[in-house]
Structure 1
Amino acid sequence: MFKLLAKLNHWLLPNYTREQLDLAKATKFQKAVIAWKYYVTTRALS
């Protein structure tokens, strides 16, 4: 299930690494997206 979510995240959610987002200047929404992607990715790998 998490592998499917990880693929959907990859296609639907923005990639802040390519945009070189500074985490100190990130909005709450951007931090929430980063946290969600991290959560799903770590669950998909285990």
Structure 2
Amino acid sequence: MFKILAKINKVIFPSYSKQRLDLAKATKLQKAIIAWRYYVTINALEKK
């Protein structure tokens, strides 16, 4: 399930690392998206 979510996230949500986003200047929405992508990625890697 998490692997599918990770693929969907990659298509839907922007990659802030490619945009060189400074986390100190990120909005709450951007931080929420970063946290969600991190959560899904970690679980996709752990749940084989």
Q: TM-score, normalised by structure 1?
A: 0.99
Which stretches in structure 1 are left out of the alignment for 5+ residues?
none
What is the match of residue 24 of structure 2? 24
Which stretches in structure 2 are left out of the alignment for 5+ residues?
none
Greater than 6 Å deviation, 4+ residue runs: none
Alpha-carbon shift at residue 2 of structure 1 (Å): 0.2
- Return the alpha-carbon distance in structure 2 between the equivalents of residues 39 and 18 of structure 1: 19
Number of residue pairs the alignment of both structures matches: 46
Identity across aligned pairs (percent)? 63
Superposition RMSD in Å: 0.3
Q: TM-score, normalised by structure 2?
A: 0.95
